[in-house]
Amino acid sequence: MVRPLGQDRPQRTNLIRRLLDRTTLRATPYRDAVAASVDPSDRLDALTAPIRHQVAGTFRRVLSGGADLPEPADVASWFGDRGDDPGLFGPDSVAWQVHGELATLIGGLRALLLQTLHPLAMAGVAQHSAFREDPFGRLHRTGTFIATTVYGRTPDAERAIASVRRIHERVRGTAPDGRPYAASDPHLVTFVHVTEVDSFLVSHQRYAAARLGPAAADRYVDEMAVICRRLGGEDPPTDAVGVAAWLDAVRPELRLTADARRAVWFLLNPPIPLYARPAYAVATSAAVGLLPTWAQRMLWLPSVPPVDVVAVRPAMRSMLAVLGWALGAAPHKEAARRRTR
């Protein structure tokens, strides 16, 4: 039976009193006054704040590999101060909508798995990064770059792009198959860009609160192509159909190398605390389930559709809901929005 609004308030007040019994508010008159006057939802929020803080802190520590991450207040100051510059896209962009969702975490994992299949891109990672010691470092750096270019002021976004281009100029060498590679190669820049945009879009469509319509999805791809061009990419796709066609055209270049196998193993089995491994297993299963079937086969990571639908997707959505409750609104997005009002 549906109760009229407010009918359950006495029961909620009694719950507050029982909760207060376990706190330091032992004086009965004061305790009863608080329970009667404070809105139960506010009091429950206060009581669950330590839990939210613990969940959020644990998540940040695992993602950073134990390194210190900036506090949300610091992030807000970086993205919110200094004028009303909307940045490269602005608050009405689809990019702001997509990258304000936690679903991009799954997209980031999917992109890393997909990128291992390009022998030249993988050779650069294997020879110029410390992914074995810091398996989440690349994911974290990618997230920081995306946040800055999507939500930061235009000068901040331009500095981030220029910094990445300088790094790319230094990443060059010879792949195990004898071919030379350079991270600044326009084709490789575009490959990395397309795998990321495709992954963020696919993860958003499955795990975000609201799916994008076809026009919005195309607009997202078109917006993100701006970053690819500024990074030195060549002719990035500007709609969702173009992304699918680009990936289909690049498939003959892809294969599973020894470097790729090692990278995938570290992505699936990172050195994280034991208590975080069940949740991480759900996240990696969700990422694998989002890969194209041909990529799953090349990586020897088959996804069983019934298991994905019945177990992985509900578990992943529940995890994202808990993380959203613990982390709150994305600080960079909220700060950028306040800046542009």
**305-333 pLDDT, tens per residue?**
889 999 999 999 998 998 888 777 777 77
pLDDT higher than 90, residue 276: no
pLDDT at 2: 43
Of residues 69 and 261, more confidence is placed in 261
pLDDT at 11: 53
pLDDT at 88: 93
pLDDT higher than 70, residue 53: no
* Terminal CA-CA length for the chain: 44
The share of the chain scoring above pLDDT 90, in percent, equals: 53
Beta bridge partners of 173: 181
pLDDT higher than 90, residue 221: yes
Of residues 63 and 17, more confidence is placed in 63
pLDDT higher than 50, residue 4: no
| Cβ contact 266:89 at 8 Å | no
**102-154 pLDDT, tens per residue?**
999 999 999 999 999 999 999 999 998 876 666 666 667 778 889 899 998 89
| Cβ contact 298:261 at 8 Å | no
Q: What angle do CA 184, 109, 233 make, to 5 degrees?
A: 20
Q: How high is the mean pLDDT of the chain?
A: 82
- Return the axis-axis angle of helices 277-290 and 313-327, rounded to nearest 10°: 120
Q: What angle do CA 304, 209, 201 make, to 5 degrees?
A: 65
In this prediction, residues 7-35 reach a mean pLDDT of: 46
pLDDT at 23: 44
Q: What share of the chain is helix, strand, coil (3-state, %, to 5)?
A: 70, 0, 30
Among 175-179, 213-217, 272-276, 326-330, the least confident range = 326-330
DSSP character for 252? Answer: G
pLDDT at 327: 74
- Where do the DSSP E strands lie in the chain? 172-174, 180-182
The pTM of the whole model exceeds 0.85: no
pLDDT higher than 80, residue 17: no
pLDDT at 135: 60
Close Cβ partners of 66 (under 8 Å, ≥ 6 residues apart)? none
Buried b (16+ CB within 10 A) or exposed e, 14-30: eebbebbeeeebeeeee
pLDDT higher than 80, residue 253: yes
The share of the chain scoring above pLDDT 70, in percent, equals: 73
Beta bridge partners of 180: 174
How would residue 338 be classed by pLDDT, with cut points 50, 70 and 90?
A: confident
Among 11-15, 171-175, 226-230, 287-291, the least confident range = 11-15
Pairwise CA distance, residues 80 & 341, whole Å = 11
In this prediction, residues 71-91 reach a mean pLDDT of: 67
Residue 10: count of CB within 10 angstroms of its CB:
9
Pairwise CA distance, residues 286 & 280, whole Å = 10
pLDDT higher than 50, residue 336: yes
Dihedrals φ, ψ of 38, to 5°?
-85, 135
Pairwise CA distance, residues 202 & 219, whole Å = 14
**230-249 pLDDT, tens per residue?**
999 999 999 999 999 999 99
pLDDT higher than 80, residue 33: no
